Amino acid sequence: RREGLWAVRVHDPESGRLRAAPRIARWPEDPAARTPGTFTPYPDTRTVRVANADGRRRGLGLGGELVFTLGGRAVTLQVTVEAGGGLWAVFADATGAGERAAAEGGYRFRFLRTPAPGAGGSVAVDLNRAELPPCAFSPYFLCPFPPPGNTLAVPVRAGERNLAEG
């Protein structure tokens, strides 16, 4: 159920289209993409309106900020706090608009999930786990685009990067 309407998705694991689906290309595992971070919750959840893959603007609830260091630079991502306490970020980086999108047909943003914050807001950030959004695979997913401020000037050459043939 979405926006007051019911929909049904049919999944056929034997589908020829599924068998012909492209594989996911990843950057090599990078130990430098694992870094400690700190989560600072907002006093109240904020909702920002962001474009979605279908062109409509919808609300995205943000529960706080995740700060970590990448490539010698401090990075801040606005994140959603998921039901189990883990964090979820929608982000873009310097590789999305440039090398991935132009040279490889890559997707312009990705998702990152982290475990729930520990004492003092400590969080293990592993960008090797950055993943393509579901809308990279099907036009039927309504992925939110990154909220303002979640486009990093630092390239993130870790995690999933694009869809590749074969």
Mind listing the pLDDT tens digit for each residue in 30-86?
A: 999 999 999 999 999 999 999 998 889 999 999 999 999 998 999 999 999 999 999
What's the pLDDT score for residue 107? 63
What's the pLDDT score for residue 3? 66
**Would you state the structure tokens that stand for residue 28, as one six-digit string?**
């090599």
What's the pLDDT score for residue 104? 42
Tell me the domain boundaries of the chain.
23-164
Other C-beta atoms lying within 10 Å of the C-beta of residue 21: 13
Mind listing the pLDDT tens digit for each residue in 84-126?
A: 999 999 999 988 654 444 344 456 899 999 999 999 999 999 9
Residue 35: which residues within 8 A CB-CB, separation 6 or more? 68, 69, 70, 125, 127
CA distance 138 to 1: 18
**Helix intervals (H) in 11-57:** 16-19
pLDDT tops 90 at residue 131 = yes
Measured CA angle at 36 (ends 33, 40), to 5 deg: 125
**Would you state the structure tokens that stand for residue 80, as one six-digit string?**
């959603």
What's the pLDDT score for residue 165? 59
Is residue 146 helix, strand or coil? coil
Query: Given the structure tokens 């904020």, which residue do they identify?
Result: 46
What's the pLDDT score for residue 126? 98
